[in-house]
Amino acid sequence: MTTQTDMSKQRNIVFFGTEDFSLTALSGLIENNYNVRLVVTKPDAPRGRGHKLASPAVKLLAEKHNITALQPRALGDIRSVVEELDQPVGVLSSYGKIVPEAILNLFTPGIINIHPSLLPLYRGPSPIESAILNNDTKTGVSIMKLVAAMDAGPVYVQAEIELTGTETKPELYKRLAKLGTELLIDHLPSIMDGSLLPQPQNDQAASYCPLLSKADGILDPARLTAEEAERRVRAYAGYPKTRFNYGQTSLIVTKAHISHQAKTPLDMRYRDGAYLVIDELVAPSGRTMSAEAFLRGYAS
């Protein structure tokens, strides 16, 4: 007897994704025997201290499983390839590019997006960072139907998690990627056969989060409270990173906590009168070390 799930797994899937967050979803589809025919990701880009060209992790995973991976500069370039598939389903997770309506219309029932927030909260490119910055007590993921407007499509299902106020971005990324993949796998058959229909978002309740830049990571004691600075350290881990100048040396902060007194000369007093105590940093050499180790080796 052929089940609803078995029929869903026979459908052609085109997966859009680039970031490590995407890797969890693509792995979940492959491990659950979905018919992923095509992976669309960004072009290879310079990475690391040597700025050597590196492929997105989803491309490497696709190649490992003999799945065709395309890296178009313009998404219109994939049109003919997608049109050769029979009523494909699109799945998108942290692709990093706007998908034009002409491409959206090639899919049935459309492109299904894993968005790491409880929409309509935090539409935009930095929802995980925003949840940490705003000291939210909960966040979650939304499985939604992609539309031309950013993160404005109707929502199929959501799941939420509680936050402790100590999460770092990498920790929360990993947790939400796992939750989003589980939610996708659980509901994908119902989305594909039309028995689960998406519900419109409340646009009046929508909030938006910005594209981050390196300037966002500057720890300015005159502008921030110590609490705001500490949240930035956790929210901006990986990118854009948080940094400050110690004399003529620029330092990246990876771990810090709030205190009413300084522990080392690196600790600055913020506009609320509290100190941000630097627990761990990245030195100009690229090595990660404690504040004490840096002061012994670099500032003596």
Q: How confident is the model at residue 176 (pLDDT cuts 50, 70, 90)?
A: very high
Is a pLDDT exceeding 60 seen at residue 1?
no
Check residue 9 and give its pLDDT: 82
Considering the domain 4-205, what is its CATH architecture? 3-Layer(aba) Sandwich (3.40)
Contact 103, 76 (CB under 8 A): yes
Domain ranges of the chain: 4-205, 214-298
Q: How confident is the model at residue 235 (pLDDT cuts 50, 70, 90)?
A: very high
The kind and range of the H/E element at 191 are helix 169-193
Condensed to tens digits (0 to 9), the pLDDT of residues 56-97 reads 999 999 999 999 999 999 999 999 999 999 889 999 999 989
214-298: CATH topology is: Methionyl-tRNA Fmet Formyltransferase; Chain A, domain 2 (3.10.25)
- The percent of residues above 70 in pLDDT, for the chain, comes to 96
Q: Burial code of 162-185, b = ≥16 C-beta within 10 A, e = fewer?
A: ebeeebbbeebbebbbebbbebbb
Q: How confident is the model at residue 299 (pLDDT cuts 50, 70, 90)?
A: low
Global pTM reads 0.93
214-298 matches 4-205 in CATH topology: no
Q: Which residues are CB-contacts of 179 (< 8 A; sequence separation ≥ 6)?
A: 140, 141, 159, 161
